């Protein structure tokens, strides 16, 4: 939901008008899918990285507005919490040396931002959940000042009508309540965008859903929240609960949550937009002046602003995106399952694994989604978030298999073939997929390193949990800047 909001209270008339506009946009979108020319000749990719700001003691630094002014770069934007920023990499092709170009640009942007954040006694940390966050940090007063976040908070809390309960049972248990969506700000993600043609969108979305569990298992980097060790990727459970608009009664009735894995394989991108309109009431009923029917009949490209805004308030782990670039409409899969960090090379390894594997499975003669039930894909997803590298997943023809074995013996060769299909330079392919391979062989991703480092600080240095988390976060920040992949990091 990356647009500004000029109003925070909405009337009944606003909601009625908005609902009518959304449905009108949906009708126009259906017509466009039938006979419109979407840009899909050479599939572009994109990356978004959500960042944490910390001070010299590894406490969250609530200074994003001040730091953005120092950075003065349109690629950086605010995010939900005052200790968050977002970096949007310039879209590009990954053929040839595209990944090397991503790495050069991301490292340069982050280094410049870090240098300028230092003017505000802060630095950047790439991690799924900042391990030093406490309940006192995640309050409404620490939301970013942009009005869209305040409006979103008011609408979600208002729709629920009561405090939001957080109840996450992992290695330890966290149970608490919050009167705002501020805990969502703890969830800092890495998002991949892949441009696809309308007739192949369903294949790419289905494949993305099927491999979401594998991505989370090998990329988990969020084991701590409020001082407790929870899931390997606690971000999944936290995001699902912190933005839940449903009181218990609606949950019992089977009303769908706004953070949603989904419930079925699809045959068209239209299925997803239509589900969004059918199942989810509007949170931000803001109408634009455009009449999409008139624009379409005049030979123009409709913005479909209301449909896009509504789509941005339904938090699918793989989100459909309609957008316009240089006057041409296009469709993207937005893959949202992964946490940020630990390093740029780790994130690009995750990207190479996703882009390569999703292409290989989407273009396979026998689709994975014809062999794997959707419920199994969802169960895999949550099992992977809980256990990370230790997860056991259900996979066609293999039954229940450790995720490391699944990746090493079956999925890495497919990912390599998919990257070849994109024309990725072999040296880039082998370097980045080699990082995934070594994570699986060592059993160490970001979550594993964090828990090992905290255990070592508690046992060997005699620290209590809070001191161990601060020590670990400071060591993490140092190692992150080396750009050496996390499986090589020393624990002590």
Average pLDDT over residues 45-73: 97
Kindly report the pTM of this predicted structure: 0.96
Which DSSP state fits 370? G
Domain that holds residue 373: 36-261+317-413
pLDDT digits (tens, 9 = 90+) for 342-375: 999 999 999 999 999 999 999 999 999 999 999 9
Domain-embedded: residue 148: yes
pLDDT digits (tens, 9 = 90+) for 323-334: 998 889 999 999
Q: How far is Cα 290 from Cα 361, in angstroms, rounded to an integer? A: 39
pLDDT at 434 over 70: yes
Average pLDDT over residues 311-321: 96
Q: Which pLDDT does position 4 carry in this prediction?
A: 47
> What six digits make up the tokens of 145?
């000042």
Q: Which pLDDT does position 9 carry in this prediction?
A: 73
Q: Which pLDDT does position 1 carry in this prediction?
A: 43
Residues 196, 333: contact at Cβ < 8 Å? yes
Residues 244, 257: contact at Cβ < 8 Å? yes
What CATH number did the domain enclosing 160 receive? 3.30.590.50
Per the structure, how many domains does the chain have? 1
Q: Which pLDDT does position 299 carry in this prediction?
A: 92
Domain-embedded: residue 176: yes
Name which of 483, 155, 90 is nearest 313 in CA terms: 155
Angle, helix 446-460 to helix 465-480, in steps of 10 degrees: 130
Q: Which pLDDT does position 11 carry in this prediction?
A: 86
Q: Which residue has the higher pLDDT, 238 or 157?
A: 238
Residues 353, 99: contact at Cβ < 8 Å? no
Q: Are strands 399-402 and 392-395 parallel, antiparallel or unpaired?
A: antiparallel
pLDDT at 320 over 60: yes
Q: Which residue has the higher pLDDT, 3 or 168?
A: 168
Total Cβ atoms within 10 A of residue 309? 24
Domain-embedded: residue 428: no
Q: Which residue has the higher pLDDT, 146 or 386?
A: 386
Residues 193, 332: contact at Cβ < 8 Å? yes
Q: Which pLDDT does position 382 carry in this prediction?
A: 98
Calculate what percentage of the chain has a pLDDT beyond 70. 98
41 pLDDT band, cuts 50/70/90, is confident
Domain-embedded: residue 485: no
Residues 385, 359: contact at Cβ < 8 Å? no
40 pLDDT band, cuts 50/70/90, is confident
Name which of 416, 347, 317, 328 is nearest 47 in CA terms: 347
Name which of 439, 484, 431 is nearest 220 in CA terms: 439
Q: How far is Cα 476 from Cα 351, in angstroms, rounded to an integer? A: 21
Domain-embedded: residue 286: no
Which DSSP state fits 408? I
| 3-class SS of residue 417 | helix
Residues 44, 195: contact at Cβ < 8 Å? yes
Q: How far is Cα 3 from Cα 15, in angstroms, rounded to an integer? A: 18
Average pLDDT over residues 56-82: 96
pLDDT at 2 over 70: no
pLDDT at 416 over 80: yes
pLDDT at 115 over 90: yes
Cβ-Cβ contacts under 8 Å for 85 (sequence gap 6 or more): 50, 51, 53, 64, 67, 68, 76, 77, 78, 79, 113, 124
Average pLDDT over residues 60-81: 96
Domain-embedded: residue 293: no
pLDDT at 179 over 70: yes
Residues 267, 369: contact at Cβ < 8 Å? no
Q: Which pLDDT does position 8 carry in this prediction?
A: 52
- How open is the CA angle 346-232-221, to the nearest 5 degrees? 25
Q: Which pLDDT does position 439 carry in this prediction?
A: 98
37 pLDDT band, cuts 50/70/90, is confident
Q: How far is Cα 75 from Cα 48, in angstroms, rounded to an integer? A: 10
223 preceded by a cis bond (ω within 30 of 0) = no
Residues 337, 200: contact at Cβ < 8 Å? no
For the chain, the average pLDDT equals 95
Which DSSP state fits 407? I
Domain-embedded: residue 208: yes
Average pLDDT over residues 422-448: 98
Q: How far is Cα 142 from Cα 184, in angstroms, rounded to an integer? A: 12
Q: How far is Cα 197 from Cα 132, in angstroms, rounded to an integer? A: 43
Name which of 189, 174, 222, 238 is nearest 388 in CA terms: 222
Domain-embedded: residue 215: yes
pLDDT digits (tens, 9 = 90+) for 72-86: 999 999 999 999 999
């Amino acid at each position: 939901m990356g647009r500004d909001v000029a109003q925070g209270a909405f009337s009944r008339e606003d909601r009625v008008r908005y609902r009518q506009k959304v449905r009108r946009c949906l009708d126009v979108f259906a017509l466009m899918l039938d006979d419109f020319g979407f840009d899909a000749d050479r599939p572009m990719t994109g990356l978004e990285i959500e960042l944490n700001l910390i001070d010299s003691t590894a406490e969250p630094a609530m200074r994003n507005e001040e730091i953005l002014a120092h950075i003065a770069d349109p690629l950086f934007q605010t995010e939900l919490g005052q200790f968050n920023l977002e970096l949007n990499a310039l879209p590009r092709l990954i053929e040839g040396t595209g990944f090397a170009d991503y790495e050069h640009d991301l490292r340069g942007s982050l280094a410049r931002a870090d240098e300028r954040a230092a003017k505000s006694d802060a630095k950047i940390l790439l991690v799924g959940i900042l391990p030093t966050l406490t309940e006192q940090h995640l309050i409404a007063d620490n939301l970013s000042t942009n009005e869209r976040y305040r409006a979103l908070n008011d609408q979600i809390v208002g729709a629920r009508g009561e405090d939001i309960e957080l109840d996450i049972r992992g290695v330890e248990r966290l149970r608490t309540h919050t009167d705002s969506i501020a805990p969502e700000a703890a969830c800092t993600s890495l998002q991949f965008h892949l441009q696809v043609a309308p007739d192949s969108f369903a294949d790419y979305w289905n494949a993305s859903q099927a491999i979401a569990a594998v991505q989370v298992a090998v990329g988990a980097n969020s084991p701590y929240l409020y001082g407790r060790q929870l899931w390997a990727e606690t971000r999944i459970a936290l995001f699902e609960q912190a933005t839940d608009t449903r009181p218990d009664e609606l949950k019992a009735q089977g009303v769908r949550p706004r953070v949603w894995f989904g419930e079925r394989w699809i045959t068209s991108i239209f299925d997803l937009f239509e589900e969004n309109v059918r199942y989810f009431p509007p949170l931000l009923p803001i109408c634009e002046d455009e009449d999409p029917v008139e624009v379409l009949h005049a030979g123009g490209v409709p913005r479909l602003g209301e449909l896009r805004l509504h789509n941005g308030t339904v938090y699918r782990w793989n989100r459909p995106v309609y957008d316009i670039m240089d006057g041409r409409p296009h469709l993207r899969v937005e893959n949202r399952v992964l946490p940020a960090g630990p390093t740029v090379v780790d994130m690009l390894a995750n990207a190479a694994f996703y882009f390569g594997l999703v292409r290989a499975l989407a273009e396979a003669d026998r689709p994975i989604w014809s062999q794997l039930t959707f419920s199994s894909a969802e169960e895999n997803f949550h099992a992977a978030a809980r256990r990370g590298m230790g997860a056991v997943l259900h996979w066609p023809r293999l039954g229940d298999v450790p995720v490391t074995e699944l990746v090493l013996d079956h999925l890495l060769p497919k990912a390599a073939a998919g990257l070849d299909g994109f024309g990725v330079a072999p040296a880039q392919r082998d370097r980045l997929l080699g990082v995934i391979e070594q994570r699986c062989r060592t059993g160490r991703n970001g979550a594993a390193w964090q828990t090992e480092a905290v255990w070592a600080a508690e046992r060997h240095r005699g620290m209590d949990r809070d001191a161990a988390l601060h020590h670990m976060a400071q060591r993490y920040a140092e190692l992150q800047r080396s750009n050496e992949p996390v499986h090589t990091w020393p624990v002590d």
